Chains A and B, each alone.
Chain A
Amino acid sequence: MSQPSSIQRRFPWHILFFLAPGLLIYVTFSVYPLLDTLWLGLFQEDETGQRFFAGISNYKTLLLDAAWSEPFWNALWNNTKFFLIHMLVQNPIGLFLAALLSSPRLRLSNTYRTLIFMPTMLSVVIIGFVWQLLLSPIWGISEGFLYSIGLGQYFDAWLGKESSALITLALISVWQFVGIPMMLIYAAMLSIPDDLIDASVVDGSSAWQTFWHVKLPLILPTIGMVSILTFVANFNAFELIYAVKGALAGPNFSTDIMGTLFYRTFFGFQLQSGSITMGAAVATLMFLIILVGVMLYLFVVQRRMKRFQL
């Protein structure tokens, strides 16, 4: 009787051995930098560059000192708008395009798919540059284009106005990335068996009813996943704003989001000098915001959503 128990007590070294390579890489490149950032956010530097432990005072400054908190709340609110525009425009359009693509009557669907996906493969810097050219009131072609179809009076310097710059940038981003939700949802729709659609046709449901009552419930998990991917990508966004508007995210910070705020804080920009520790504090807050969002999704939304075996 003592034999098996002594075997059980022996430490399973081989498991550790096999886990070690992956674990080592993960710890070195993911866990350590993250923990170091969290840790760094708790320090401050004096004029000589000497670091000292300062507890949560960076966070107090960031959230309570008006000089810091105003840009912070502004960036957070802008970022939320940026995200909402993606959710309300990008994902419904992606869903709609996927539904069209999966229609068996559509010809050339592969061509459309590639064309729609094309902008996603381009560099954000190029996209930003191209759209800046297109929309420019000076050399842009959009004004002439709008006039030629009789809508000229609606043209405006959208990228230059405080009221419209963020929305315009968000729509440019939607234009670029709409291929991703489209592809994911399209793949999910293809996995719905044809028989199921036939059955609903025999049951008398119209194309729209079939979509609403049969297809949509079956791709809901994919839409949930697309939403959370959009959330993470939007709260980590930076390149497009930086490429089009620079780190100052003008006009008057109206396009400032968490990424650009972090950039200015960490590296400094023009009159503002960079602070590594303050930057770490902003990065930590970004991390926490995304963490809370993902947690809410995983524990509140996904739990209620069942995956159905098809």
Chain B
Amino acid sequence: MADVKLSNIKKSYGDTPVLHGIDLDIKHGEFVVLVGASGCGKSTLLRLIAGLEDISSGELHIGDQQVNALAPAQRGIAMVFQSYALYPHMTVFKNMSYGLKIAGKGKDFIDAKVREAARILHIDHLLERLPRELSGGQRQRVAIGRAIVRDPNVFLFDEPLSNLDAALRVKTRVEIGKLHKELGATIIYVTHDQVEAMTLGDKIVVMNQGRVEQCGSPLELYQHPATRFVGGFIGSPKMNFIDGKVAALGGDHIEIQLSNGCRSRACVEAGDLKVGDPVTLGVRPEHIDERSDAGTMLSGDVTLVERLGEASFIYLTLSDGTEIVVRGSGESTVTTSEHIKVSFAPHNAHVFDSNDRALRRLKAGNVHSTAELAQLKAVGQEAF
């Protein structure tokens, strides 16, 4: 019905290019999250889709229509702003009905629409209040309500949760997810928070400096980051990176000589790598084991231990000065300045070439099969 298609969209402010050619296909009903560091052009892209900024070059289609030159109101979109942008002098009812009134809709129609949206969002009792008489969460709902009443094909959200406190953020996040199911509309959602992105998105678009780094489902991004940037961006704490050189090429793996002197095996496709090429090994903190026998062994000095209860984040400095983080168990007894040995399995390693492109992983994801988990457990018990 209303697919959104971006073809080579570019945007410059004066001589400063901000977006360098964005291609994106969004299917009707999809929940797409644009995520990236602050200043990478997410808001700009959203504003281009909304029609609040002119597209410098490229084509934007919503539905079957090329909408580059259409005014925002004619694009069938609605936008929820980070600051909510509620009209401070209008009651909640008037805030929500303003767009319909401008469009010349009848009084009864407007009334029905607004009450319907208010019911969905549980703000029926607030309709006569002014925005300043509402809490942050309620304002957020009104802002969403103002979008819903217009029956848009595409909802645009620009960091809608960043003005809420932590508890409310989680709650509202869940509700936005439910709302998406209920409305069945396309949602394009901007955030810099990767947890929001992972939990909400059917599809995540990771942006970096005005370019799309990678686009895919949450698990795809987690298991198969296409670039070093995505590897570091998705996941918390960040993926650890250790420099190294290709030492040997096997059939289903390569061997890497790491900068700290260790030799590691990684289950990736070698592509056109040759022995001696510089590469970066990436491994997530949650894939490094406090035991020393899971595969590649690393040893280093503990500089800090963060105890979260369910887990401990152990900060290690390797012999060559590389710093890594290990997600240890909550009961870990490791203490600062201790020298410890940790290890990770070859199938959990990511490898990035000198252009920061990832090599295709061969066994990623399989590790979560129950059989393998059981096997891993058995190995663990043996070790103790």
A residues with a Cβ closer than 8 A to B are 193, 195-196, 198-205, 209, 213-214, 217-218, 306, 308-310
Q: Is the CB of A203 within 8 A of B98?
A: yes
B73: Cβ under 8 A from any A Cβ: yes
Measured between beta carbons, the chain B residues less than 8 angstroms from A205 are: 98-99, 102
Measured between beta carbons, the chain A residues less than 8 angstroms from B223 are: none
Q: Of B79, B81, B85, B98, which is within 8 A of A213 by CB?
A: B98
Q: Is the CB of A308 within 8 A of B79?
A: no
Measured between beta carbons, the chain A residues less than 8 angstroms from B146 are: 199, 203
- The chain A residue with its CB closest to the CB of B97 is A203
Q: Count of B residues near A, CB < 8 Å?
A: 27
Q: Is the CB of B87 within 8 A of A204?
A: no
Known: A308-B132, A310-B88. A204 touches B102 (CB 8 A): yes
Known: A308-B132, A309-B132. A199 touches B85 (CB 8 A): yes
- The chain B residue with its CB closest to the CB of A201 is B72
The 6 residue pairs across chains A and B that have the minimum distance between CB atoms: A204-B73, A203-B99, A308-B88, A195-B85, A199-B85, A217-B89
Q: Is the CB of B52 within 8 A of A198?
A: yes
Name the distance in Å between A209's Cβ and chain B's nearest Cβ: 6
Q: Is the CB of A196 within 8 A of B77?
A: no
Q: Is the CB of B81 within 8 A of A209?
A: no
Q: Of B72, B87, B89, B103, which is within 8 A of A202 by CB?
A: B72
Q: Is the CB of B102 within 8 A of A202?
A: no
Is chain A's binding surface mostly helix, strand, loop or mixed?
Answer: helix
- The chain B residue with its CB closest to the CB of A210 is B102
Measured between beta carbons, the chain A residues less than 8 angstroms from B197 are: none
- The chain A residue with its CB closest to the CB of B94 is A213
Sample of 8 further A-B pairs with CB below 8 A, known A199-B146, A217-B89: A193-B83, A198-B47, A198-B52, A199-B87, A203-B99, A203-B150, A204-B71, A308-B89
Measured between beta carbons, the chain B residues less than 8 angstroms from A200 are: 87, 98
Measured between beta carbons, the chain A residues less than 8 angstroms from B51 are: 202
Name the distance in Å between B199's Cβ and chain A's nearest Cβ: 26
B residues with a Cβ closer than 8 A to A are 47, 50-52, 71-74, 77-79, 81-83, 85-89, 98-99, 102-103, 130, 132, 146, 150
CB contacts between A and B, total, < 8 Å: 66
Q: Is the CB of B88 within 8 A of A199?
A: no
Measured between beta carbons, the chain A residues less than 8 angstroms from B88 are: 196, 218, 308-310
Q: Which of B51, B74, B102 is packed against the most chain A CB atoms within 10 Å?
A: B102
In the assembled complex, the Cα of A168 lies from the Cα of B89 at a distance in Å of: 39
Measured between beta carbons, the chain A residues less than 8 angstroms from B130 are: 308
Q: Is the CB of B79 within 8 A of A218?
A: no
In the assembled complex, the Cα of A309 lies from the Cα of B84 at a distance in Å of: 13
A-B contacts, 6 of them at CB < 8 A, read A193-B85, A195-B83, A202-B77, A218-B88, A306-B89, A308-B132
In the assembled complex, the Cα of A309 lies from the Cα of B103 at a distance in Å of: 27
Name the distance in Å between A230's Cβ and chain B's nearest Cβ: 24
In the assembled complex, the Cα of A202 lies from the Cα of B150 at a distance in Å of: 10
- The chain A residue with its CB closest to the CB of B130 is A308
- The chain A residue with its CB closest to the CB of B47 is A198
Name the distance in Å between B245's Cβ and chain A's nearest Cβ: 51
Q: Is the CB of B78 within 8 A of A202?
A: yes
Name the distance in Å between A307's Cβ and chain B's nearest Cβ: 9
- The chain B residue with its CB closest to the CB of A216 is B89
Q: Is the CB of A204 within 8 A of B72?
A: yes
Measured between beta carbons, the chain A residues less than 8 angstroms from B82 are: 195
In the assembled complex, the Cα of A196 lies from the Cα of B79 at a distance in Å of: 12
Measured between beta carbons, the chain A residues less than 8 angstroms from B79 are: 198-199, 202
- The chain B residue with its CB closest to the CB of A214 is B87
Known: A205-B102, A213-B98, A214-B87. A199 touches B81 (CB 8 A): yes
Q: Which of A195, A198, A203 is packed against the most chain B CB atoms within 10 Å?
A: A203
In the assembled complex, the Cα of A148 lies from the Cα of B383 at a distance in Å of: 105
Measured between beta carbons, the chain B residues less than 8 angstroms from A195 are: 81-83, 85
In the assembled complex, the Cα of A309 lies from the Cα of B146 at a distance in Å of: 20
Q: Of A209, A217, A308, A310, which is within 8 A of B102 by CB?
A: A209
Measured between beta carbons, the chain B residues less than 8 angstroms from A203 are: 73, 98-99, 102, 146, 150
Measured between beta carbons, the chain A residues less than 8 angstroms from B89 are: 217-218, 306, 308
Measured between beta carbons, the chain A residues less than 8 angstroms from B52 are: 198, 201-202
Q: Of B85, B87, B99, which is within 8 A of A198 by CB?
A: B85
In the assembled complex, the Cα of A310 lies from the Cα of B84 at a distance in Å of: 11
Name the distance in Å between B138's Cβ and chain A's nearest Cβ: 15
Measured between beta carbons, the chain B residues less than 8 angstroms from A217 are: 89
- The chain A residue with its CB closest to the CB of B89 is A217
Name the distance in Å between B136's Cβ and chain A's nearest Cβ: 13
Name the distance in Å between A172's Cβ and chain B's nearest Cβ: 36
Name the distance in Å between B284's Cβ and chain A's nearest Cβ: 37
- The chain A residue with its CB closest to the CB of B82 is A195
- The chain B residue with its CB closest to the CB of A196 is B85
In the assembled complex, the Cα of A218 lies from the Cα of B79 at a distance in Å of: 22
- The chain B residue with its CB closest to the CB of A308 is B88
Measured between beta carbons, the chain A residues less than 8 angstroms from B73 are: 201-204
Measured between beta carbons, the chain B residues less than 8 angstroms from A204 are: 71-74, 99, 102-103
Q: Is the CB of A202 within 8 A of B98?
A: no
In the assembled complex, the Cα of A195 lies from the Cα of B82 at a distance in Å of: 9
In the assembled complex, the Cα of A66 lies from the Cα of B97 at a distance in Å of: 61
Name the distance in Å between A309's Cβ and chain B's nearest Cβ: 5
- The chain A residue with its CB closest to the CB of B79 is A202
Name the distance in Å between B249's Cβ and chain A's nearest Cβ: 55
Measured between beta carbons, the chain B residues less than 8 angstroms from A214 are: 87
- The chain B residue with its CB closest to the CB of A217 is B89
- The chain B residue with its CB closest to the CB of A306 is B89
In the assembled complex, the Cα of A214 lies from the Cα of B85 at a distance in Å of: 11
Name the distance in Å between B189's Cβ and chain A's nearest Cβ: 16
Measured between beta carbons, the chain A residues less than 8 angstroms from B132 are: 308-309
- The chain A residue with its CB closest to the CB of B50 is A202
Name the distance in Å between B215's Cβ and chain A's nearest Cβ: 26
